[in-house]
Amino acid sequence: MKLLIVSALSGSGKSIALDTLEDCGYYCIDNLPVTLLEDFINNVMLVDRNTYAKTAIGIDARNQSESLSNFSENINLIRSKGIDCEVIFMQAEEATLLKRYSETRRRHPLTDYNIPLKEALLIEREMLTPIARHANVVIDTSRTQYHQLRELIKDQIVERDYRHISLQFQSFGYKHGVPLDADFVFDARSLPNPYWIPELRSLTGKDQAVMDFLKEQLFVNELFADIHAFIDKWIPRFEKEGRSYLTIAIGCTGGQHRSVYLVDALAKKFKSPGLNVIIRHRELH
């Protein structure tokens, strides 16, 4: 039996994640109180194993803080009953969340006359820390649109069930910030930059002219070989430790040329039936 616990900062996409999982065959429940988790496991999931063979439960800050602080005990209890339980935690930058609430005019569940939105976000992040600590997968949705998030959920959660470890290779631009959900970050800013070649400036690392230029650069090939050797060496160790998901982020200044090229090249190198390889170019739209 499979149980996914999906938790998130309000406004970072938990509802979209649950809707996507439901479309993929999961029985989904949103906002189940943590105090009812044990009863649900004993009296529902274990009683009707067919209906609830794949279940996803949304848990957020509408729970009492005391029950959230005991989250570790609940996870251990669930796993002691032979249920494969994973925790998915979704977050976004504060500025992104403030903008989303401003655009939708929705009320944050922790705001009231004495607690403004910005303070509510800080309180919520602190309340959900016990869940975030147990996360098997962390997803940063700061620069992710609706359809992109649905694809991420399918790639990282659903498709992974049929393979071993999932590898996500992500390009990004340092001038837009380092991804919050990266396990390893590699810096490609020291490599020769196609941006300074006029005929390549408007292109990206997906264009053949840029790829041809970078393939000829010694340092580009050396960095590619070093990153490949590191990941290849440590994947078996991560799998042995039970890791099911790994994000490798590669950044350059703008996230358009060098990082894009390296991500695509590495993904192509690691693609195999035993690995779920995901490509994400954060700054390419």
DSSP state at residue 194: G
Residue with tokens 């490599």: 191
Question: Which residues of the chain does CATH 3.40.50.300 include?
Answer: 2-162
pLDDT digits (tens, 9 = 90+) for 204-258: 999 999 999 999 999 999 999 999 999 999 988 887 776 778 899 999 999 999 9
| CATH architecture under which domain 2-162 falls | 3-Layer(aba) Sandwich (3.40)
Which of 153, 131, 128, 133 lies closest to 25 in space, CA to CA? 153
Q: What is the pLDDT of residues 32-54, one digit of tens each?
A: 888 898 899 999 999 998 899 99
In sequence order, which residues have a C-beta less than 8 Å from that of residue 76 and are 6 or more positions away?
none
Q: What is the pLDDT of residue 202?
A: 95
pLDDT at position 247: 92
Q: Report which secondary-structure segment, H or E, holds 88.
A: strand 84-91
- pLDDT attached to residue 162: 47
pLDDT at 215: 96
- Tell me the range of 63-77, 168-182, 239-253, 270-284 where mean pLDDT is highest: 168-182
pLDDT digits 0-9 by tens, 117-176: 889 899 999 999 999 998 888 899 998 888 889 988 888 777 655 446 789 999 999 999
